[in-house]
Structure 1
């Protein structure tokens, strides 16, 4: 289980909206002045992420909580979200090139590029439907695991 500390910013039935601050150890080590990642953190800043999570412990507004997500859910969805569009782009490109060769086109590149873009578009459209389907599956939902021992914090963000 991957865990992260978050602040509850809203509750709605069985769900809560939580805000996490991306944490990194960059800027803390001795080589921070020569590190590209540390420089990137300085430019991009420490951004906050707001997500909707399951709230089985009935956490209240302003509480610090620990949010968890199963590793298998993260790895499976990451794999699908990165690989499917690329796989369809490649498959459609190869099919387009073979189609252009079969029709004796002088140049196969335009057909290959067009088919590749169609494949990429098909992959992105499929991902939209896939994301909608798994968003209702509790196995892929982040969940509040427990409250931390910290004091409640007033909700007022800059």
Structure 2
């Protein structure tokens, strides 16, 4: 489980909107001083807003600006990253390959690659839209009501 500290920015009956500042990896590698990501995080403080389900908890137990711990399973991050990066890449390669086989033209192969890349991106967007409410893919609150288990039983 990857955990992150966030600040509550809105409270609703079935969930919380949490603001996170992505800095969990910065400072942990040797290239921190020469890293563009570290510099951008310091300058811009890249924030993300996440929807966290309360899962039966009382919303009255939380308040705006309260800091909480949230977690996302590693498998969600790994599988999502692979899908988001590889689907458009494979679409681009397939589009270029099909165009090359059909027309044997470098210009049309480049257009086929672009069409494949856009189709792969559209597939990623469609899948994200289809799974946006999937409870297995949502961040969870890490507190005494839901202890983190690192080893599946």
- Please state which band the TM-score falls in when normalised by the shorter chain: 0.7 to 0.9
Q: Decide whether the 8 Å contact of 2:84 with 2:124 is kept in 1.
A: yes
TM-align CA RMSD:
2.7
Structure 1 partner of 2:35: 37
Query: 1:115 Cα deviation (Å)?
Result: 0.7
TM-score, length of structure 2 as denominator length = 0.78
Of residues 141, 144, 153, the one that matches 1:144 is 141
The answer as to 2:75 corresponding to 1:75 is no
User: What do residues 28-53 of structure 1 show as CA deviations (whole Å, max 9, x unaligned)?
Assistant: 99997xx2127724764332222212
Structure 2 partner of 1:94: 97
TM-score, length of structure 1 as denominator length = 0.76
CA distance in 1: counterparts of 2:134 and 2:140, whole angstroms: 12
Distance 1:64 1:40, change over 3 A: closer
User: What do residues 105-126 of structure 1 show as CA deviations (whole Å, max 9, x unaligned)?
Assistant: xxx1111011111101111111
The answer to which structure, 1 or 2, has the higher relative contact order (CA under 8 A, 6+ apart) is 1
CA distance in 2: counterparts of 1:31 and 1:121, whole angstroms: 34
Which aligned pairs between 1:98-113 and structure 2 lie closer than 5 A? 98-101=101-104, 108-113=105-110
Q: Decide whether the 8 Å contact of 1:26 with 1:41 is kept in 2.
A: no
User: What do residues 34-78 of structure 1 show as CA deviations (whole Å, max 9, x unaligned)?
Assistant: x21277247643322222121233352222111011110111011
